[in-house]
């Protein structure tokens, strides 16, 4: 089995806390039965395994994932609740993102499988004009930049593993209980719902 890197990005100063990092790390360890290393890119030395170097604001720090070297990276947003076996995610070898829960033709970046070649291609695109990207997509966010490069090449988790990954807002409780991963995009945040499904 190829060793997998499982990653998150934590930029201080926002709504997230170290508790989010620790909860995600522990839930990955409990539910991923595949050799892996945990990576947290952060400006907080208490939780960082890799320091953030670019000082990008907010969600834009996610692009530093593209600088990680070696093999595949399985990325989770911090506002992700894992409550079942996620090992099937590790078998996916190709570039895979979420199908946006409200824009079926768009991408969501809350859960991504990032092969090394695809990371390199995205980093090359990002480096050409980071401030231009951030200005142009200030509202749409990081996934809008990713769509410029990956929209037609990325697989969607919902197609590969139907029912395994759901949205807290877009799916009913019965669907969330049957899933292994619940994505909390936007509001509310997991701590505001008692970390419930």
pLDDT tens string 101-124:
889 899 999 999 999 999 999 999
% of residues, the chain, pLDDT over 70: 99
- Using the predicted structure, report yes or no on whether residue 175 has a pLDDT greater than 90: no
- Using the predicted structure, report yes or no on whether residue 176 has a pLDDT greater than 90: no
Say what the pLDDT of residue 188 is.
Answer: 86
User: Residue 22: CB partners within 8 Å, gap ≥ 6?
Assistant: 47
Average pLDDT score over residue span 17-31: 97
Distance in angstroms (rounded) separating the CA atoms of residues 148 and 25: 30
Please give the order of strands across the beta sheet that includes 155-156: 50-51, 36-42, 4-10, 73-76, 107-114, 96-99, 155-156
Distance in angstroms (rounded) separating the CA atoms of residues 74 and 113: 5
Tell if the pTM clears 0.85, that is, is over it.
yes
Average pLDDT score over residue span 74-91: 97
Average pLDDT score over residue span 169-193: 85
196 confidence band (pLDDT: 50, 70, 90): low
More confident residue, 84 or 191: 84
């Amino acid at each position: 089995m190829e060793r997998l890197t499982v990653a998150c990005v934590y930029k201080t100063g926002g709504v997230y806390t170290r508790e989010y990092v620790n909860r995600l790390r522990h839930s990955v360890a409990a539910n991923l039965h595949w050799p892996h290393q945990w990576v947290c890119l952060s400006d907080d030395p208490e939780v960082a395994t890799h320091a953030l170097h670019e000082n990008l604001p907010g969600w834009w720090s996610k692009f530093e994932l593209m600088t990680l070297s070696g093999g595949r990276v399985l990325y989770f947003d911090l506002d992700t609740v894992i409550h079942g076996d996620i090992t099937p995610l590790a078998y996916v070898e190709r570039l895979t993102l979420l199908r946006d829960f409200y824009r079926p033709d768009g991408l969501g970046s809350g859960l991504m499988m990032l092969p090394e070649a695809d990371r390199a291609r995205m980093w090359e695109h990002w480096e050409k004009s980071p401030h231009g990207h951030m200005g142009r997509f200030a509202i749409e966010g990081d996934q809008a930049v990713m769509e410029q490069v990956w929209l037609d090449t990325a697989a969607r988790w919902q197609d590969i593993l139907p029912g395994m990954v759901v949205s807290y807002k877009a799916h009913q409780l019965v669907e969330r209980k049957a899933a292994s991963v619940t994505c909390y995009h936007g509001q509310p945040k997991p701590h505001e719902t008692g970390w419930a499904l």
